[in-house]
Structure 1
Amino acid sequence: MLQHCKGLPLAITVLAGLLARKDTVDEWNTVHKNVYAYIRRGTDLGPNYKGEGYEGVSWLLELSYDNLPYYLKLCFLYLAHFPEDYEIPVSTLTKLWMAEGFISSASAEVMEDVSYMCLSELVGRCMVQVGKHGSRKKIKTCHLHDLMRDLCMLKAKEGNFLHIINYSAVVETNETPNGRVRRLAIYLDKTVDTYGPEKDENYGHIRSLLYFVPEYYFMNSKALWSLFKYFTLFGVLKFEGLSVRSLFKNFTLLRVLKFEGMSVREHKLPGEIGNLVHLRFLSVKDSDIRAVPSSIATLVCLQTLDLRTMWGIEIPNGNVFSKMEKLRHIYLPKYHNAGHLLFATESVNLHTVVNIYIQASDLDDFVKLTNLRKLGVITFDGGEKKENGTNIIFKHLQSLSVDSTLFSGTSTFLPISWNIVLSCPNIYKLRLRGEIAELPEDLMCLTNLTKLTLRGFGHLKDDHIKVLENLPSLRMLLASCGNFPESLVCSKGGFPFLEFLSLDLVEELKEWKVEKGAMPSLYRLHIEHCFVLEAIPDGLQHITTLKELTIKSMRCEFCSRLREGGEDFYKIQHVQSVIISYD
């Protein structure tokens, strides 16, 4: 069978992925027979396949597709929404699959876990390629090989799975859809003057609408008119004699609306958005929308709601989410006006709450949210009140972010409240934005903690560094906008599993020494805007695992010591990739 892969690594890996799931000789023989059948199709297409795009090793790729269970075929075809060479965020992709109804789970299974397992299955079959891994080694982004994407697009077109309107192509592509469209992806660029399909009965049953735009896209008036005219996502009274309500009737079947990165002059969603009662996924992330209407409360089927807009958002009242019993993930912007939010009494399945305001001394609002996996809180009392003990333990929480920043013209970092952190014993990721007056030794009890981000942390002392060194599972440490001791020593045996260290705008740090045996697993080191630091740490030459070193916006004297022939070149000459940038 290998002889017919023509030396292409992709073909070999696809074949391996297919055979890896065949346990008997008979199953291997079946694959062998099918391989030759597909070879004949690939070398002599015949009248039934003329013009269908099957050529080269497509026969092998198609074989892999044909062997997918039905639910995985749907998951795979959904990847056709995304533009070529697009790094797909896995967190978003799995939520989209859930919203589309592709994922089913038994009562004991968590739907997000099942969705991720579907992705892992596609990766295991070599149909999807991994982009980046997270701190827990889970897949963070993914993409399609060019040949696999061609197959994906071809199969999606054959089954009328989705329709793509590409305004960003050199030659604009807007083919007439073949029958009713259920899913629509629209690619925009900065020069487009329209971005909606012509009014057509084929678009009356759209269930999924995804926009893909360049960064900082701004709509011009013609594009905005087109959106009003055909998709009516914003409040206007009449177009061509039709009321907004009648226009919205054409799109009441929408389950997915990805409206990210848009900038519109109205800066708000209309009240009529509440008519889309079937919505399960709504994202206006990075858009210029600054207000949502009270009618959003009628979207009771929502599973994912992402309101992390560019400038913050006005929320009508704290009860607007209280009827969304199916809500699983809610992302609020950092700046919003809702001080106290109520969630549905049946929201025990709520997995993600990001950027919610709370008092640092009060976790009572979360007593019913015991299945939270990701929590981001903004404390507004800076931990100044007496911190009462709490019996609430978030045993399922995996990611925690605590922001203790006071905004009054300028940002002021307030003390971190540790009662919140220590109520989450099983977290993998911890992000702290605020002053660290103390670093409790109890932090070392967080045995699962793999990623720690510190920002605006104030002055870290030597005993604080000792605590960080002894975090038992820490793999990634990112520190910015704070002060380290003037003379920093990383002790022998410290940071035993640390793979990535990033220091940015760390002030007062002048001398840095790494004892032999410290950071034995370090793979990547990033140093940026540390203007007082005189030299790369002494002892770095002993870290043989270091493969990537990035130096950015440091003093010229610091950088010149690292160049070949410089005083510190011997410390980094074993590093495979060294990037020095002054920008």
Structure 2
Amino acid sequence: MAEGLIVSTASSSSVVERLKIAEEYLKDLAERSLVIIAENDQVSATRRINSCRIHDLVRDFCILQGKREDSFEIVDFTKGIERSSLTSRIAVYLDDYIHADVDDTTSYIPEDNHIRSLIFFGKDKSPSKSTWPEEVADLKDFQWTRVLNFDGVDFRGANNNKLLPKNIDKLLYLRYLGFRGCYLEKLALSFTNFLYLETLDLRVTSSSKMIIPNVLWKLSNLLHLYFPVSFQSGDQNKLIKLDGLTRLEILENFRVGICDVDDFQQFKRLQIFTVLYRDGNTLDMNKIMEFINGNGYLSHTSLTLEKFDCYSKARRSLLVNVLTSNAIHCLHLEGHLKRMPKDLMIIGQNFTKMVFDGCEFLEDPMPILGGVKQLMTLVLCNDAIEGDEIVFPEYGFEELRSLKIANLQYLENLVLLDSAAMPNLSILTIEQCGKLEELPDEVMDIPTLAELKIGSMSEVFEERVRQSVKEQKEMGNDQLTATFYKCK
């Protein structure tokens, strides 16, 4: 989209409409098995494809065809110089550069001003990212580039110098700028030069807490903004302002207490919205809930409440507001709740994914959760339930595809009143539940069950699962598989 490959029409002038067209193209490729959807997206609670990869044979074909047509080029520092003057897309693997005996990298990377897309890849299979080399740190020859993406690059440099490519601020025509998986501690003030920027992806590695200057509001053409999970304002006494982003359609990882919630009145076109709340005041969170519940344009909303508790009346009221909302689709609730609110009459019906982390419910919440008609993914982890038994009601969880139960130290029994309790369950994950010794027989009777994931469970439990899977195979159920592994 950033390169203009999805052509605008009278009926698809909106970027969200063009995004839908692009997703349809991707789904079509997936149906033809030309791309492989990531495992987590097979039961995606958002019903959107978030990540994929191409088949090895398709990749080889694309590389070959790309070279023939000069549509893109992979820079190989280990081979001789083979530059094409027609190439408009460049991919650079920094790991190859680090292990190659190269003195001058500029001769390997085309300097022509028609490069539309420039992508740098760091190290894929190492906990330490590939360090950005100073030798290729000048981007003065790429001022017409529309897409600049860094994937898994460590910008600390030698001697922990904080490096960004020189003259990056000269790329005035950028539409897309990404730092996903990188180590980058500070965003430069000069980023306000990118007046045509439509997508800014700041989802750096979780070990990097980014300092973001209070200038993002100047990027008036921004459509997609992805904050990192951990960040802070460059001016610690001021909230990050976003009131100039009137065209914004996707906003992820908006953190309450760091970003200004009063800017929401400007977001008339927002479609996808994810919020992170931790140690903020409930007044700000109530403003967000008012915006979410009153915005008819939102197609997907995700809310994460971190270290949340219900020790005050204001927080209990906020929790009821969250759980009864029909405008929230994904909810991650971490904190000590003990019980569902007493005045919770009915739970929101549009939740597609719910995660309960460390909630310490004294009473089994399954009778309530089972009534959520759209729920596709449910995670109960880290003593989310303190009881010794979880009972799945006979009729409930009609759309549930994935169930994960992890680190519930008190759990001794799982009870399914009938296999009809989860008629569409595909993936069942059980991890680190030391007192749980077996799965109920009704689990194996679920016709759609395709995969069991068993992590760090007792030998008795694992052996019984193996025996159950073997019996299913003997009965002709070849789709069911079981994976056993140790949790980190």
TM-score relative to the length of structure 1: 0.68
Say if 1:421 and 1:146 are closer, same or farther in 2 by CA, change over 3 A. Answer: same
**2:9 matched to 1:113?**
no
Look up the SS of the partner of 2:253 in the other structure: strand
- Partners of 1:573 and 1:399 lie apart in 2 by 43
Correspondence for 2:359: 457
Q: Deviations over 1:150-201 (max 9, x none)?
A: 443333223321111135xxxx345512224321012343752468843379
Structure that is richer in helix per residue: 1
Report 1:384-533 matches (<5 A): 391-392=290-291, 393-405=294-306, 412-414=307-309, 417-418=318-319, 421=322, 425-436=326-337, 438=340, 441=344, 444-447=347-350, 449-459=351-361, 461-462=363-364, 464-484=365-385, 485-516=387-418, 517-533=420-436
**2:104 matched to 1:164?**
no
**2:134 matched to 1:225?**
yes
**2:141 matched to 1:250?**
yes
Correspondence for 1:354: 253
Task: Report 1 or 2 for greater relative contact order, CA contacts < 8 Å, sequence distance ≥ 6.
Answer: 2
Say if 1:394 and 1:482 are closer, same or farther in 2 by CA, change over 3 A. Answer: farther
Tell me the amino acid that sits aligned with residue 290 of structure 1: E
Tell me the amino acid that sits aligned with residue 34 of structure 2: V
Look up the SS of the partner of 1:482 in the other structure: coil
Pick aligned residue for 2:240 from 334, 337, 341: 341
- Partners of 2:376 and 2:323 lie apart in 1 by 20
Correspondence for 1:307: 202
Deviation of the 1:525 alpha carbon: 0.5
Is this contact kept in 2: 1:166–1:188, CA < 8 A?
no
Tell me the amino acid that sits aligned with residue 581 of structure 1: Y
Say if 1:374 and 1:453 are closer, same or farther in 2 by CA, change over 3 A. Answer: farther
Deviation of the 1:468 alpha carbon: 0.9
Correspondence for 1:40: none
Deviation of the 1:472 alpha carbon: 0.6
**2:210 matched to 1:327?**
no
Tell me the amino acid that sits aligned with residue 397 of structure 1: L
- Partners of 2:194 and 2:320 lie apart in 1 by 35
Tell me the amino acid that sits aligned with residue 528 of structure 1: E
Say if 1:336 and 1:532 are closer, same or farther in 2 by CA, change over 3 A. Answer: same
Look up the SS of the partner of 2:383 in the other structure: strand
Is this contact kept in 2: 1:269–1:292, CA < 8 A?
no
Correspondence for 1:317: 213
Correspondence for 1:79: none
Tell me the amino acid that sits aligned with residue 273 of structure 2: L
Say if 1:366 and 1:456 are closer, same or farther in 2 by CA, change over 3 A. Answer: farther
**2:451 matched to 1:548?**
yes
Is this contact kept in 1: 2:46–2:300, CA < 8 A?
no
Is this contact kept in 1: 2:249–2:272, CA < 8 A?
no
Look up the SS of the partner of 1:457 in the other structure: coil
Look up the SS of the partner of 2:356 in the other structure: strand
Is this contact kept in 2: 1:130–1:139, CA < 8 A?
no
Deviation of the 1:514 alpha carbon: 0.8
The Cα RMSD (Å) is 3.5
Say if 1:425 and 1:552 are closer, same or farther in 2 by CA, change over 3 A. Answer: same
Bigger mean CA offset, 427-436 vs 478-487? 427-436
Look up the SS of the partner of 1:99 in the other structure: coil
Is this contact kept in 2: 1:105–1:111, CA < 8 A?
yes
Deviation of the 1:442 alpha carbon: 6.6
Say if 1:314 and 1:548 are closer, same or farther in 2 by CA, change over 3 A. Answer: closer
Correspondence for 1:243: none
Say if 1:431 and 1:326 are closer, same or farther in 2 by CA, change over 3 A. Answer: farther
Which sections of structure 2, spanning at least 5 residues, go unmatched?
none
Look up the SS of the partner of 2:191 in the other structure: helix
- Partners of 1:433 and 1:104 lie apart in 2 by 43
Bigger mean CA offset, 367-376 vs 322-331? 367-376
Pick aligned residue for 1:211 from 101, 120, 137: 120
- Partners of 1:483 and 1:253 lie apart in 2 by 52
Correspondence for 2:484: 580
- Partners of 1:302 and 1:101 lie apart in 2 by 13
Deviation of the 1:435 alpha carbon: 4.2
Correspondence for 1:184: 90
Tell me the amino acid that sits aligned with residue 163 of structure 1: E
Tell me the amino acid that sits aligned with residue 128 of structure 1: L
Deviation of the 1:120 alpha carbon: 3.7
Correspondence for 1:562: 465
- Partners of 1:359 and 1:443 lie apart in 2 by 32
Correspondence for 1:259: 150
Say if 1:486 and 1:194 are closer, same or farther in 2 by CA, change over 3 A. Answer: farther
| Identity, % of aligned positions | 25
Deviation of the 1:492 alpha carbon: 0.4
Is this contact kept in 2: 1:162–1:184, CA < 8 A?
yes
Report 1:11-410 matches (<5 A): 98-106=1-9, 108-109=11-12, 110-123=17-30, 126=32, 128-132=34-38, 133=42, 134-135=44-45, 137-166=47-76, 172-173=78-79, 175-189=81-95, 192-193=99-100, 197-199=105-107, 202-205=110-113, 206-213=115-122, 214-216=124-126, 218=128, 224-228=133-137, 232=138, 248-264=139-155, 265=157, 266-269=161-164, 272-310=167-205, 311-318=207-214, 320-338=215-233, 340-358=239-257, 364-381=262-279, 391-392=290-291, 393-405=294-306
Correspondence for 1:53: none
Tell me the amino acid that sits aligned with residue 207 of structure 1: R
Q: Deviations over 1:414-449 (max 9, x none)?
A: 4574477469634443333444453675764433x3
- Partners of 1:532 and 1:161 lie apart in 2 by 58
Look up the SS of the partner of 2:429 in the other structure: strand
Say if 1:483 and 1:453 are closer, same or farther in 2 by CA, change over 3 A. Answer: closer
Say if 1:118 and 1:569 are closer, same or farther in 2 by CA, change over 3 A. Answer: closer
TM-score relative to the length of structure 2: 0.80
Q: Deviations over 1:468-521 (max 9, x none)?
A: 111012122122223323221111012122121111223322222111131122
Q: Number of aligned residue pairs: give it.
A: 450
Tell me the amino acid that sits aligned with residue 186 of structure 1: V
Tell me the amino acid that sits aligned with residue 147 of structure 2: V
Tell me the amino acid that sits aligned with residue 68 of structure 2: E
Say if 1:127 and 1:547 are closer, same or farther in 2 by CA, change over 3 A. Answer: closer
Tell me the amino acid that sits aligned with residue 202 of structure 2: L
Say if 1:515 and 1:497 are closer, same or farther in 2 by CA, change over 3 A. Answer: same
- Partners of 1:174 and 1:428 lie apart in 2 by 52
Look up the SS of the partner of 2:404 in the other structure: strand
- Partners of 2:192 and 2:390 lie apart in 1 by 53
Q: Deviations over 1:524-570 (max 9, x none)?
A: 11001122323323532432332211111112333244343x9x987
Q: Deviations over 1:267-294 (max 9, x none)?
A: 3436843222212111112112111111
